[in-house]
Structure 1
Amino acid sequence: MENKRNYQKLAYWVPYLVFALVIILVMNSQLRHHITIIVGDGYFHFTRIYDAAQQIRTHNFSYFQMNWGFDQSGRMVNAVYGPMFAYLMGFLLLLSGSWFKFQILTGFLISFAAAAGMYQLMKKVNNNLFVDTLVSLVYLCQISWWNQGATFGSISAMMLPYVLLVAVRMIQNWQKPISWLQLGLTMSIVAQIHLMSTLLFTIMLIPFAIAGFCHTDNKKAMIYNFLGAVGITLVLTANVWGALIYFHLHDVMANPIETNMAISAVGWANMSELFWGLAIFQIIYVLFHLRESLLNNIVTLTGTIFLVISTNLMPWNAIQTAYPVLRSTFQVPRRLMIEAIPLLLLGAGITIKFMVQRDHNDVGTWCAFLIVMLLVGFNSKLTVNNFYTNTSIQSTMPMQYEARANNNGKIFYYRNVPAPDYLPQVKNISGTKKAALYEQDVIKRQYQFEHLVLPGGRLELKWFSPKISKVKLPIVMYRDSHLIVNNHVVKHPNRNEIGVPTVNQVKGKNKAILSFQAPNWWQPLLWIVSLSWLLIICLALYNRLRHC
């Protein structure tokens, strides 16, 4: 009996230890060389995380105006882009002590959470230790990694298995398809991290909700639980949608930079032949076994829809021509592959269960296939990490010294990208033009001014002028931004297309102070959101302890 208990404890922890080992092995080259990889969206997210970290460090909070990140230009990004997640990551940056340690820590945690979530999901539908672990590892090696580009695709991939746990419940538990606390809390966390993921995950849940509603005998209870979840989500995310509505109606922000959707769609070469083979087999299997499992049918159908839409099988050239706004809002069709991968892997896990029930010899064949798929994916991740590590050694060594030594903003001197996202929409110009103006008027001119962050979230600029003239300040102003120059309020500053103001300067020393006047209802709203989170977390912990 004692041996059996020890075996069960070992079996419980082994998958998680394997996940940790695989992640460390993939990051081995980066760990050995102490390299911080900043590619892709790395600068965009690192600078907004740095701003949140500085607010925490100095206890000088500014929810809207960013006084440390984005070239100390007073931009507003975190308020509409994962605000609470930015503060969490900022806290981890302070805790880590250096950018290198921060990237290793967060890269490990995000990848581990993704694998652990997939494993919990697989246990719901298969409950075979070896198969569940293999499928989770395959998932880990198919998704984006935070330390290989710092894209939010990796964050979405981390969250998806936990959202799918909600989806699976809708099919498996017809007595209570929806837990208002589980659904509301899960979607609230997603919304506090990434709004686009919230929209896509909501769409993904629709087929599961319809099936659960059609089969449950407690339709009225399901509706009440759904409405309760929606209500909780609206309260817990009021800071997110409140800021979005405010800027949409009162102070329009620019969309992110436009992309060519046809080029950013998934092609055959973007995924391994083994993944395509698994996807095709899974689709064919379900078509020939429609009566076997409702859950498998819905999972595979939903995954197939996301898969097809994410690829160049869709006429994305025609779509972006007809609806050009999608180029700067939806941007990249390949983001839908983030939903397709776990859905199809989940479907494969269900298929394996039924095939093994009919013929136990099938488990060996499936395990061999999954092991090969895992090795190919692992080698791909290892190659990418080695490539970025070696490239960073060759091209960014001054920045690497700073990244190893501290967690301050000096790394942005060596790595700066003129991202135009969420700049003021003064005039409707292209994202490329906005980026060029921002680089010209802010990035290249910021070091001509002395920046100081004042109490109350205000930003002070000082500079010296040899004569009386006009000057462009390397800051951006929104409609409710407030500017004081040399102790005089500038009521209607002359702003260019991206909100950079031109003001009068005097001969000698000059001083400007930028602040943002948030609406009167904002502070009470933040208190409501904060207290609601505290209450819901306490309730979730109470329910967890009660069922232990």
Structure 2
Amino acid sequence: MKKTTINWHQIFKFFAPYFAILLLTTIIISTQLVSHATFITADRYFHFSRFYDAAEQIKTGNFSYFQNNITAMQSGRIINALYGPFFAYLNGLLVLLSGSWFTYQIIMDYLVYLIGGMAVYRMMTKVKVREVNAILLALLYLTLGIMPGWLRADNFMAWGAALAPYVVMCGIDMIQDKNNPVHWVKLMLIMAIIAQIHLLSTVILALSLVPFAIYSFVVNQNKKAILLNFIKAVAGTIVLTANFWGAFLLLYRTNKIALPKSFGLNSGAVHISASGSEHGQLTILVFCLFIAQICYVLFHLRENKLNTFVTLEGAVLLLVSSRFMPWHFIQTLLPGLGRSFQFPYRLIVAAYPLLFLGMGLTLEALVKYKKEKLIVLAVLVAALVQTTVCTIRTNVALTKMYNDPNRVAVLTTYYQIDNKRQDIKGAVNGKDKGLLFKLINRTEPDYLPIYKKHISPDMVNLLYRTDIIDQSMRYNYSVHGSSLYLSWVAKKSDEVQLPLVMYHQSRLQVNNQIVQPQKLNPIGSPTVNQRKGNNTAILSFIVPMWFWGLVIISLVGWLVLFLYGLKVIVNYRFNQN
């Protein structure tokens, strides 16, 4: 019998990128791991809240697709339906399986970084970039821009950044694959996944593919097949995300929804920084690498068509996202962008993968120029060290805040926090995950209904605090099915404003009678008649049948795609044997 030999080189080659990514992540969050620190920032609290609501729905069986009946002060607000509903339930399941918020946070840190790092690595190896160079670029990507923002605050655009290289890989096919430039199943799958997680990332990344699509359509002869595959990809994405756009259609067609608070666009634009590397901060060494990459392409326009294409598009996107753009003037002309777009640096979700791909291609082109390649590699390694140090420094600073008994949580004035901040440590490391939402109340106005034409986010925030949070202690809450129950005892019969919010589709039942509230305040809090003694109110959200049809269509689409993928894997394994 022939003895089987183990190819250790192939094993090492396979596991090397995984090991490098996991090692880098561990080094970055080491102080956090030692201190068991959970960084309660604005975005993280927001996502913890909505995932806990999903977790409790799974645990109790009281499913409510629209109303948040467990968190959001049990006010009946809608959040998950408009923000990655399927992904929220997946996270809810992981929350249930995690022993504490700290454990859940660390699992997600490793998961996002592993997905993002391997996406960059696979993008590089797809265009034949050497493994060592691919790993270095993947590690640099993880410590720059939007990705380190995840470790700090659960910034959900990091999911877009983690998956963006797969979108770019679809663009690579459009440039290089002459026979089948549009791989519609891959394109449909990645865009649908991102759409189910983060809408704005989907929009930006879809727009970044437009130049690739135009090029592919112009240079290839079989335009009918290309157009057909694009239609298939778009149609398939619409099917897979039917639940998502259906919720937007249902709510925005009949309700005015509060916008987030406004930010200064210029302050959120990309700029050179000596002390940080996250979000809009661009370290000087990475800036030099980008400039060198752009200059190389400008002097070698015809050398590598793909390199030229991705570098120039990435450079344009980086320019638009930076302070070189007159964002002060733009915001004066279009003030609404401060609420909707908020941060121009968000464009780097597409710009950075394109520029990194260009750098990988340039490194391969410099193989014959040993001196120049060594210089670029030296700067690349130095840039990686610099961005890693910046990310570690941020992690250390946040850990110190967590360990500060007077601080613990890093939150803005849009939050109310229990005076005993040390209790938060027990909440994030204990088994009772719901305790966190008793110690901290969120008052930001995301997705609240608005019943007044001109009202500022600050006023919405104030009304939510005074009319919902401050009044909630007077009531007892319970959940049955998808409905929220309030009970209270009144000393006399008169009017009372309930700490609830009502959308156009909300139905309110008070003391066994369906009522039309006598009035709604600007955020939809109803005033009703109470009777002396015991009172009960039931808030429900009436979901039309056509919407449930869209949910079924979406779920069936994902099931069909799963079965198709399973068939492809089985056939591949069968052919290998």
Q: What TM bracket, shorter-length normalisation? A: over 0.9
- Computed over aligned residues only, the root mean square deviation of the Cα atoms, in angstroms, reads 1.7
**Equivalent residues in 2 for 1:42-441 (5 A)?**
42-142=44-144, 143-269=147-273, 270-356=281-367, 358-394=368-404, 395-396=407-408, 397-428=422-453, 429-441=455-467
One-letter identity of the residue aligned with 1:414:
L
Which whole-Å CA distance do the structure 2 matches of 1:125 and 1:154 have between them?
24
Which whole-Å CA distance do the structure 1 matches of 2:518 and 2:285 have between them?
59
Is the contact between residue 54 and residue 68 of structure 1 (CA under 8 Å) also seen in structure 2?
Answer: yes
Which whole-Å CA distance do the structure 1 matches of 2:426 and 2:149 have between them?
23
> Is the partner of 1:382 in helix, strand or coil?
helix
Q: Deviations over 1:163-217 (max 9, x none)?
A: 1111111112121111111011111111111111111111101111122222333
Q: Please state how far the C-alpha of 1:438 moved relative to its aligned partner.
A: 1.0
Which whole-Å CA distance do the structure 2 matches of 1:462 and 1:32 have between them?
45
Query: Judging changes above 3 Å, is the alpha-carbon distance between structure 1 residues 465 and 492 closer, same or farther for their aligned structure 2 residues?
Result: closer
Q: Between the two proteins, what is the percent identity of the paired residues?
A: 39
Is the contact between residue 320 and residue 326 of structure 1 (CA under 8 Å) also seen in structure 2?
Answer: yes
Q: Please state how far the C-alpha of 1:2 moved relative to its aligned partner.
A: 7.4
Is the contact between residue 174 and residue 216 of structure 1 (CA under 8 Å) also seen in structure 2?
Answer: yes
Q: Please state how far the C-alpha of 1:103 moved relative to its aligned partner.
A: 0.4
The runs of at least 4 consecutive aligned structure 1 residues that moved more than 4 Å come to 1-4
Which whole-Å CA distance do the structure 2 matches of 1:144 and 1:382 have between them?
10
Q: Deviations over 1:444-474 (max 9, x none)?
A: 222221110112x100011222233322211
One-letter identity of the residue aligned with 2:284:
E
Match of 2:516 among 485, 491, 502: 491
Is the contact between residue 464 and residue 507 of structure 1 (CA under 8 Å) also seen in structure 2?
Answer: yes
Which whole-Å CA distance do the structure 2 matches of 1:376 and 1:541 have between them?
43
Which whole-Å CA distance do the structure 2 matches of 1:322 and 1:434 have between them?
25
One-letter identity of the residue aligned with 2:473:
Y
One-letter identity of the residue aligned with 1:372:
A
TM-score, scaled to structure 1: 0.96
Q: Please state how far the C-alpha of 1:72 moved relative to its aligned partner.
A: 1.0
Residue 529 of structure 1 pairs with residue 554 of structure 2: yes
Is the contact between residue 175 and residue 217 of structure 1 (CA under 8 Å) also seen in structure 2?
Answer: no
> Is the partner of 2:443 in helix, strand or coil?
coil
**Count of residue pairs brought into register by the alignment:** 546
Query: Judging changes above 3 Å, is the alpha-carbon distance between structure 1 residues 525 and 54 closer, same or farther for their aligned structure 2 residues?
Result: same
Is the contact between residue 475 and residue 486 of structure 2 (CA under 8 Å) also seen in structure 1?
Answer: yes
Greater CA deviation, 360-369 or 303-312? 360-369
Which whole-Å CA distance do the structure 2 matches of 1:527 and 1:421 have between them?
27
Q: Deviations over 1:453-508 (max 9, x none)?
A: 112x1000112222333222111100110111122211244111111112222222
Greater CA deviation, 16-25 or 266-275? 266-275
Is the contact between residue 310 and residue 355 of structure 2 (CA under 8 Å) also seen in structure 1?
Answer: yes
Which whole-Å CA distance do the structure 2 matches of 1:435 and 1:546 have between them?
56
Match of 1:507 among 520, 532, 555: 532
Which whole-Å CA distance do the structure 2 matches of 1:97 and 1:405 have between them?
8
TM-score, scaled to structure 2: 0.91
> Is the partner of 1:502 in helix, strand or coil?
strand
One-letter identity of the residue aligned with 2:223:
K
One-letter identity of the residue aligned with 2:51:
I
Q: Please state how far the C-alpha of 1:541 moved relative to its aligned partner.
A: 2.7
> Is the partner of 2:217 in helix, strand or coil?
helix
Which whole-Å CA distance do the structure 2 matches of 1:254 and 1:402 have between them?
30
Q: Please state how far the C-alpha of 1:262 moved relative to its aligned partner.
A: 2.3
Which whole-Å CA distance do the structure 2 matches of 1:273 and 1:229 have between them?
40
Which whole-Å CA distance do the structure 2 matches of 1:326 and 1:505 have between them?
43
Structure 1: segments with no counterpart, 5+ residues:
none
Q: Deviations over 1:368-419 (max 9, x none)?
A: 2221111111111111111111101212331111111125221022233312
Q: Please state how far the C-alpha of 1:361 moved relative to its aligned partner.
A: 4.2
Greater CA deviation, 439-448 or 92-101? 439-448
Which whole-Å CA distance do the structure 2 matches of 1:335 and 1:43 have between them?
21
Is the contact between residue 41 and residue 149 of structure 1 (CA under 8 Å) also seen in structure 2?
Answer: yes
One-letter identity of the residue aligned with 1:94:
L
> Is the partner of 2:509 in helix, strand or coil?
strand
Which whole-Å CA distance do the structure 2 matches of 1:279 and 1:446 have between them?
53
One-letter identity of the residue aligned with 1:24:
T
Which whole-Å CA distance do the structure 1 matches of 2:86 and 2:149 have between them?
21
Query: Judging changes above 3 Å, is the alpha-carbon distance between structure 1 residues 3 and 285 closer, same or farther for their aligned structure 2 residues?
Result: farther
